Amino acid sequence: MRQLNRPNYNPLDIFLLCVGEVADEDEKNNYLENTDQITDSVVEFDSAATAKNWFALPRVGRGDPEVVIRGTLTKRALVDLYGKYLVGGEEAREVYDELLVSSDGKCPFCGGIGQVHTVDHYLPKSNFPVYSVLPDNLVPCCRDCNTGKMASFATTQHDQTLHPYLDPPSFFTERWVGATVRRTDPITVEFSCSPPNEWSELDNRRARAHFDQYDLARRYRIQAGAELARVIDLRKKSLRNLTPEDFAAYLWENADSDAYDINGWNRTMYWALARTAWFQTANFNEPASYLEPALVA
């Protein structure tokens, strides 16, 4: 999980920039006549962000694109602001592109497993269309996180996933993803959500909701498999002369590297390896020497 700088845009300016792309005068005037409604919606979103209760914002069901959402703005009109005018516009598209590259290509939801390919709505535009072009609601995202998350937003505060712009730094600077190294053949690493004991129950449950919703246990395990095989191969070759203590120091260097997110799969994997004594003393040329007794033929 990666924290991003909050977009430095005035929400009303972005709304008006999108409206400026509208060719039909009647359609454009309808948007402009509802500027106060958009301003009010921004205030409501900011209040929800302060309280971390986005779930309580008014939502609309799926379907019926002609349902009126705010003032005289329909769901279709609000969704079109994003698809036709932010993504499909000219000047407004520049804002979209700037948001797209704001995370240096690394998806903030999964800690950089995936490369950013799209901008995701933290509050889905199908349920919260009034925030379809709100900069704080638009987060760069990889395809897996965009398609794999739940189609609708949480209905309780503790089920809300983490917001890369607006959540406290503790979610991004403190370790809350743990891992266990399993004595199997091949060796495996299992990841879990393990927030600090001093965290509040709400923060604890939100971290778990994020971990589960983005399927991080499975996705991290897959990523760790190839890297773990590389580490073992290094230990058998170029690192073979290191003492267990020196090998542990090598693992800790990677576990402490700021090049990796503290809750990313790679740093967490090295953290687990550095804490696993049998891994540091294992003879990787003889799997039976480190396997669980029940797994030795």
Q: How is 86-133 classified by DSSP, letter by letter?
A: IISSSHHHHHHHHHHTTTTTB-TTTTTSSBEEEEEESS-TTT-GGGTT
Q: Is 280 inside a domain boundary?
A: yes
Let me know: does 194 contact 203? Beta carbons within 8 Å: no
Q: What is the pLDDT of residues 195-251, one digit of tens each?
A: 999 999 999 999 999 999 999 999 999 999 999 999 999 999 999 999 999 999 999
pLDDT at 294: 61
Res 141: pLDDT: 95
Which has more confidence, 112 or 191?
Answer: 191
> Given phi > 0 = left and psi -120 to 50 = alpha, else beta, which region is 71?
left
Local confidence band at 290 (pLDDT 50, 70, 90 cut-offs): confident
Q: Are 147 and 185 within one domain?
A: no
Average pLDDT over residues 42-50: 98
Q: Compute the Cα dihedral for 232, 234, 235, 236 and give only its sign.
A: positive
**pLDDT > 90: percent of the chain:** 90
Any idea which of 124-133, 145-154, 170-179, 231-240 has the lowest mean pLDDT?
145-154
Residue with tokens 């073992």: 232
Is 152 found in the same domain as 69? yes
What region, left, alpha or beta, does residue 112 occupy, with left being phi > 0 and alpha being psi -120 to 50 degrees? left
Provide the b/e sequence for 244-274 (b: ≥16 CB within 10 Å): eeebbebbeebbeeeebbbbbbbbbbbbbbb
Paired with 73 in beta bridges are 70
Domain end (from 156, 190, 212): 156
CA distance 127 to 9: 23
Do 59 and 127 lie in a common domain?
yes
pLDDT of residue 8: 96
| Per-residue confidence (pLDDT) for residue 165, from 0 to 100 | 98
- Other beta carbons within 10 angstroms of residue 183's beta carbon come to 18
Q: Is 1 part of a structural domain of the chain?
A: no
Residue 148 pLDDT exceeds 80: no
Is residue 239 within 8 Å of residue 250, measured between CB atoms? Answer: yes
Asked if residue 28 and residue 147 are part of one domain, the reply reads yes
CA distances from 75 to 64, 126, 127 (A): 8, 8, 9
The Cα–Cα gap between 157 and 222 comes to 30
Q: Is 149's pLDDT higher than 90? A: no
* In a shared domain, residues 48 and 86: yes
203, 113: one domain: no
On whether both 95 and 201 belong to a single domain, the answer is: no
Determine the average pLDDT of the residues in 176-194: 96
Q: Give per-residue burial for 145-156: e unless 16+ CB within 10 Å, then b.
A: bbeebeeebbee
Q: What is the pLDDT of residue 277?
A: 96
The answer as to whether 222 is a domain residue is yes
- Give per-residue pLDDT as tens, 10-27: 999 999 999 999 999 999
Domain annotation covers residue 5? no
Q: pLDDT grade, residue 295 (50/70/90)? A: low
Number of independent structural domains in the chain: 2
Domain assignment present for 166: no
**What local confidence, expressed as pLDDT, does residue 287 receive?**
79
Count CA atoms within 13 Å of residue 19 on its CB side: 20
Q: pLDDT of 56-73, one tens digit each?
A: 999 998 889 999 999 999
- Residue 19 pLDDT: 98
pLDDT digits (tens, 9 = 90+) for 113-132: 999 999 999 999 999 999 99
Domain range enclosing 87: 11-156
Mean pLDDT for the chain overall? 94
Indicate if 38 and 150 belong to the same structural domain: yes
Same domain, 78 and 197: no
Q: Which of 156, 182, 199 is the last residue of a domain?
A: 156
d(CA 137, CA 131): 7
Is 107 part of any domain?
yes
**Whether residue 197 sits in one domain with residue 100:** no
Q: For position 151, what pLDDT does the model report? A: 67
Q: Which of 131, 156, 181 marks a domain boundary? A: 156
Joined together, the tokens standing for residue 84 give 């036709």
- d(CA 268, CA 221) in angstroms, rounded, equals 11
Same-domain check for residues 38 and 138: yes
| CA dist list (Å): 153 to 1, 77, 171 | 19, 21, 20
Handedness of CA 149, 152, 158, 160 (dihedral sign): positive
Whether residue 24 is found in the same domain as residue 150: yes
